[in-house]
Amino acid sequence: MELSEDDFELINALQIAPRISWSDAAGILGVHATTLAARWERLKASGAAWTTAHWMGDPQQMCLALVDVDCEMRLRAEVTAALAAIPEVVTVEEAASNRDLMLTVITPTLDQFSETVVPQLKEIHGLIKYRTSLCTRLHSGGYAWRLNVLGKSQQAALKALAGPEASGSAPPRTPGAQLPQSHLELIPFLAKDGRATAADIARALGRNPATVQRQLNRVLASQMLSFRCEIAQKYSGYPVTCQWLANVPPGQHEAAAAELRTFRNIRLSASTTGRTNFVILMWLQSLADVMDAELALQQRIPGIELVESVVVLSAAKRVGWMLNPDSTATGAVVVPAAELAPTA
């Protein structure tokens, strides 16, 4: 399957406003609403693009952990599958470095990471060792990455119509209101389809559509979910993933993060605990761009020390979605049970 320029424009629009109505999008993109809907269904069915939402929780309490895993070589496939089956392990990648796998783990609290996730890691046959770095500040993530194929006026129009769930240049910083269990039960549906409507969810849950609409509005307004439109990396124009473990001088992390936001291919920047205190992840056009990126980082971020670079060989799971070897989505989504989500 090849993606057309129209496909890229639609994906870009949904990156900016993941839940925009087709009628509103039609007015901005100059394409009929039914055409947009059909085009999106084709992209989803092929695994080329998808929308999703994942639980973030209170930004003052949530735990984002970056975990390096070593495993027995002959059991790597089994270990990968076991890790991907853990809902809190949102991303699983195979690395070309001195670790076998890299995990991104999101839990509502540090205690839940220690009590829920770590015991499961210890039980996986073939997993030899793991090392954890904890995120102390998430500066930017994949939710903010854009194709940037739309014009500035179109992007501005989409931002104006984007709802409270739309992801901007930084993660939500305001804790949402307490959400009751009935509201949390909507989250798995949004993880499987970030554009799921109240009518869709009401049918699945056997609830009154008006009731679900009120619940959905409250979930979206809480800003405890991170929504995004993803594209299979092979279609993005940036097929190579590289992560740098770095040290940035104390007091300069915010300035470094601000500079990194000017790099169009940044997928992650965060301050961390551990042997290094900063992590940067980019999508690149080729392996040759790794050296160019390193030079740019050193020129534009004073005092940065690039300790290690790690190229990703493949991704088995990205933000809850299972991936095929060619980076397209399989359609399978691993999400936490609603009853495990926190209510504050």
Q: DSSP characters for 60-111?
A: TT-EEEEEEEEE-GGGHHHHHHHHHTSTTEEEEEEEESSSSEEEEEEESSHH
pLDDT in tens, 101-137: 999 999 989 999 999 999 999 999 999 999 999 999 9
Residues 209-213 have a mean pLDDT of 97
pLDDT-derived band of residue 340, with 50, 70 and 90 as boundaries?
Answer: very low
Please name the amino acid found at residue 335. V
Q: Tell me the β-bridge partners of 54.
A: 226
CA angle (261, 57, 121) in 5-degree steps: 95
pLDDT in tens, 128-173: 999 999 999 999 999 999 999 999 999 999 999 997 777 554 444 4
Tell me if the pTM is above 0.85: yes
- Token reading at 98: 């001195």
Tell whether the model's pLDDT for residue 33 goes beyond 80: yes
User: What pLDDT sits at residue 168?
Assistant: 52
pLDDT-derived band of residue 97, with 50, 70 and 90 as boundaries?
Answer: confident
Q: Tokens 């040290």 — which residue?
A: 247
CA–CA distance, 131 with 254 (Å, rounded to integer)? 26
Provide, rounded to the nearest whole percent, the portion of the chain with pLDDT above 90: 86
User: What pLDDT sits at residue 58?
Assistant: 67
Classify 180 in phi/psi space as left (phi over 0), alpha (psi -120 to 50) or beta. Answer: beta
Q: Tokens 């003052």 — which residue?
A: 60
Kindly report the average pLDDT of the chain as a whole number: 92
Tell whether the model's pLDDT for residue 343 goes beyond 60: no
Please name the amino acid found at residue 158. L
Tell whether the model's pLDDT for residue 59 goes beyond 60: yes
Greater confidence (211 vs 339) lies with 211
CA–CA distance, 202 with 179 (Å, rounded to integer)? 18
CB 241 within 8 A of CB 189: no
pLDDT-derived band of residue 337, with 50, 70 and 90 as boundaries?
Answer: low
Residues 62-71 have a mean pLDDT of 96
User: What pLDDT sits at residue 335?
Assistant: 84
User: What pLDDT sits at residue 341?
Assistant: 45
Tell whether the model's pLDDT for residue 214 goes beyond 70: yes
Q: Tokens 């809902």 — which residue?
A: 87
User: What pLDDT sits at residue 339?
Assistant: 41
